[in-house]
Structure 1
Amino acid sequence: MPTLPSSTSSSLPSSAASPAPAAGNQPHQRRDIAESFGGDAERYDRARPRYPDALVARIVAASPGPEVLDVGCGTGIAARQFTAAGCGVLGVEPDARMAELARRLEPGVAVDVARFEEWEPGERQFDAVVAGTAWHWIDPVAGAAKAAAVLRPGGVLSVFWNVALLPADLAEAVADACERVMPDSPFDFRAALTRPATVPYRAILDKAADGIRTAGGFGGTEQWRYDWEFTYSRAAWLDVMPTQGAFTRLPAAALAEVLEAVGSAIDARGGSIAVPYATMAVTAKRT
């Protein structure tokens, strides 16, 4: 279970949004991928990294109270961190398999099984709405409007992502394996893996900020960034890869071929890999 060393943080200026993907191919419309992670929920919880404690503390400090709604809570990774920080957490998660594990790992966290856009909050209200590596699966305008509806005045909406910045040689090894195993894939693995990972995430952050502005009910958005690094053994990194959206639906034999190629690249580096991360957030306050 990766834990985080100390991190450095910064605030990022908002930038113009990048052109949106073609209609019908938005991430939140790809339910086949969005709800595929529960196929191995225990691996997901074991392998996926946690979020910087400084980010959690900053969100808690900015909130008017301790009640947190965790959107797309998955197995409860972020929910457990907010619980440890003294918050009461309710999760909303569309995959019942992920929700069941989240409840089992932290009995103090309740989880409603629903897509956030269709979730019925009743009279419940919250001091913070958060989403850890999940908001791209939510309609950015409908999701922000739902968040505004359930936040108390002064409440905080904060959506954030862990972005791995793979070393160039490992990125090339992954791209080579993906192109060999998935030659007909419409996804440009090489372009995605060999450019700085923060480039596509910049578009994701801008899209989230645009959705918040369009939905209304919030003040100006802020973008935050926390930089940190984690060293993985060969086995630990190969445990992470099957939890990533590009691989969750890959047949076992094809996945094994990709992992073998990446494992060989890690062996050539001495059996471990230091992976820099950037945790990137968009945050706004309910007016």
Structure 2
Amino acid sequence: MDVFGSVAELYEKERPGYPAEVADAIIAYHGGVPASVAEIGAGTGKGTEVLAAIGAPLTCIEPDPRMADLLSAKFPQAQVHVGKFEQWTPPPGGVAALGCAMAWHWLDPVTRNAQARDALTRGGVLALFGHRYGYADARQAAAIRSLLHSLDPTMKERPADWMYHDVMAGGEFADVRVERFRLDVPLTRDRYLALVRTLGPFLARPPELQQRGLDLLGRLIDDFGGTVVLDLGTSLTLARNSAGVTP
């Protein structure tokens, strides 16, 4: 997860935030404002904006100190734990709500559901949310995806609602459900390329491949008039700690 520290400031500037309705949905599912909230992989605070709006005492867990520095400055009211979720000790009895924005895939798939359950109170709420970057123009979407595949045929996109299916398969939680939100986000060529530079699959590639990809994407966007309109889909998976919950 600490791959993003090298672009922490760019990440904070260019990554889109989350709809305010996500906080409302978490509160409604919980049945009121939870007594405490913790966030896994808080980064620079994109998801923290939503979780802070819930209005409960907030703990943010972030392994990269460069990201954590920006997070602390932005949310001085939050308690920031610099380290991995697996190394964090929850308070006695657990937290009432545990959020995770675009970081669930960084956790061990074998143990993440059980660890999340163990961090929650009896009946506590797990809230996983993240973006799926689509494109409003179908031709543009096809051209961009074809270009990326030509650069790296091994690149794969996670299935839609994969977090929901992961929690369901884990069997640790009850009343699992998913809510969806969407928004059109127009970006100039330069803003789009800046966003690409913050994405995990991009950062995982060698520098020469990164630069080639940016050059080719820039030319492609120019051919489309210099603008990209993202079809930004946000999914929210909600689940309840089955301990103490009547089936």
Q: 2:22 aligns with which of 44, 55, 67?
A: 55
Distance 1:282 1:116 in 2: 19
1:176 equivalent in alignment to 2:176: no
Q: Unpaired runs of 5+ in structure 1?
A: 1-33
- Verify the 8 A CA contact 1:93 1:113 in the aligned structure 2: yes
Residue 75 (1) aligns with residue 44 (2): yes
Aligned to 1:227: 182
Which letter does structure 2 place at the counterpart of 1:74? G
**Cα deviation per residue 1:7-34 (whole Å; 9 max; x = unaligned)?**
xxxxxxxxxxxxxxxxxxxxxxxxxxx3
Amino acid aligned to 2:115: K
- Give distance in 1, aligned partners of 2:12 and 2:94: 28
| One-letter amino acid of the structure 2 residue matched with residue 208 of structure 1 | V
Match of 1:201 in 2: 160
1:191-270 alignment, distance < 5 Å: 192=156, 200-211=159-170, 213=171, 216=172, 218-270=173-225
| 1:221-277 deviation per Cα after TM superposition (whole angstroms, max 9, x unaligned) | 112221222111111111100111111143444322211211122122222111102
Q: How many aligned residue pairs are there?
A: 238
Distance in 1 of aligned mates of 2:26 and 2:161: 21
Q: Which residue is 1:155 aligned to?
A: 124
Quote the residue 2:238 is aligned against: 283
- Tell me which of 84, 93, 97 is aligned to 2:62: 93
Q: Which residue of 1 aligns with 2:154?
A: 188
Deviations 1:95-150 (A, max 9, x none): 22211221122211222122212322242632210100111111245322232223
Give structure 2 stretches of 5+ with no counterpart. none
User: What TM-score, normalized by structure 2, do the two folds share?
Assistant: 0.85
Percent identity of paired positions between Structure 1 and Structure 2: 28
Is the contact made by 1:234 and 1:272 (CA closer than 8 Å) also made in structure 2? yes
Task: Give distance in 1, aligned partners of 2:216 and 2:110.
Answer: 40
Provide the TM-score with structure 1 as the length reference.
Answer: 0.74
After TM superposition, list the pairs within 5 Å mapping 1:108-119 onto structure 2: 108-119=77-88
Q: In the alignment, is the contact (CA less than 8 A) between 2:164 and 2:176 conserved in 1? A: no
- In structure 2, the residue matched to 1:120 is 89
Structure-1 separation of matches of 2:162 and 2:63: 24
Q: CA deviation at 1:84?
A: 3.1
User: Partners of 1:144 and 1:283 in 2: how far apart?
Assistant: 13
Indicate conservation of the 8 Å contact 1:226/1:280, yes or no. yes
2:159 is paired with a residue whose SS is: helix
Q: CA deviation at 1:152?
A: 2.5
Whether the aligned pair in 2 keeps the contact of 1:117 and 1:139 (CA below 8 Å) is: no
- Deviation at residue 204 of structure 1 after TM alignment: 4.3
Alignment RMSD:
2.3
